[in-house]
């Protein structure tokens, strides 16, 4: 009987609680799991915020396109107030589509401000977006969807046979908020072709962005 009591007492001692080492190990595991969970949460939040900013950039670009759509399809009206100096400085920043586009500006910019600002800043949801609008010209062959420069360095006075003189407008939206855009600005670009030949207005719009 005494032996049985001794065995039961020993078993009770073994089951009486966790040792200090077990407690330390448990706390370490809980800390590691908490750290991993926090890291996953922060990454998810950053990803969601980055996606939201990109969606806002797309909206801002579309709004700029709507503004262009509201203008009379006339090159002089679209470039009114854009000086040669400002246009050359603007085109120094490479943007997709500029290589196939002739630069255009207002030869006699009498307006105090540009009719369509070369650059403007908008703030949405606490993020500052820079909107840059490029306006140039290109020539579209009737048998092709591409609108490009001609072999000549300057646009001809009369469009070559089989081509249409078009205006290319590029809206480039840039922002630097967030971890992924802090070093290299993120951007979203949209491009439109405007028919200024006097025929029905044609809009061919494309968009692309980073990240």
- pTM equals 0.73
Q: In this predicted model, what pLDDT tens digit does every residue of 116-154 receive, in sequence order? A: 999 999 999 889 999 999 999 999 888 888 899 998 888
**Beta strand 163-175 with 127-141: parallel, antiparallel or unpaired?**
antiparallel
Whether the predicted pLDDT of 34 surpasses 80 = no
Cis preceding-peptide flag for 207 (omega within 30 of 0): no
Domain residue spans of the chain: 30-210
Q: In this predicted model, what pLDDT tens digit does every residue of 43-56 receive, in sequence order? A: 666 778 888 889 99
């Amino acid at each position: 009987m005494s032996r049985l009591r001794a065995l039961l007492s020993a078993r009770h001692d073994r089951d009486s609680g966790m040792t200090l080492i077990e407690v330390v190990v448990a706390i370490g595991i809980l800390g590691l799991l908490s750290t991993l969970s926090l890291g996953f949460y922060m990454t998810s939040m950053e990803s969601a915020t980055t996606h939201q900013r990109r969606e806002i950039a797309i909206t801002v670009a579309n709004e700029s396109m709507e503004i262009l759509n509201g203008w009379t399809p006339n090159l002089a009206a679209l470039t009114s107030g854009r000086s040669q100096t400002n246009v050359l400085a603007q085109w120094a920043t490479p943007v997709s589509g500029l290589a196939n586009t002739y630069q255009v500006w207002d030869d006699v910019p009498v307006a105090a401000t540009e009719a369509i600002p070369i650059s403007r800043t908008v703030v949405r949801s606490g993020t500052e977006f820079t909107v840059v609008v490029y306006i140039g010209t290109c020539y579209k062959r009737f048998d092709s969807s591409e609108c490009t420069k001609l072999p000549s360095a300057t646009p001809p006075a009369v469009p070559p046979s089989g081509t249409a003189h078009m205006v290319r407008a590029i809206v480039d939206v840039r922002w630097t908020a967030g971890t992924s855009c802090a070093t290299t600005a993120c951007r979203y670009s949209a491009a439109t072709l405007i028919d200024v030949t006097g025929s029905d207005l044609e809009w061919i719009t494309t968009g692309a962005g980073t990240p």
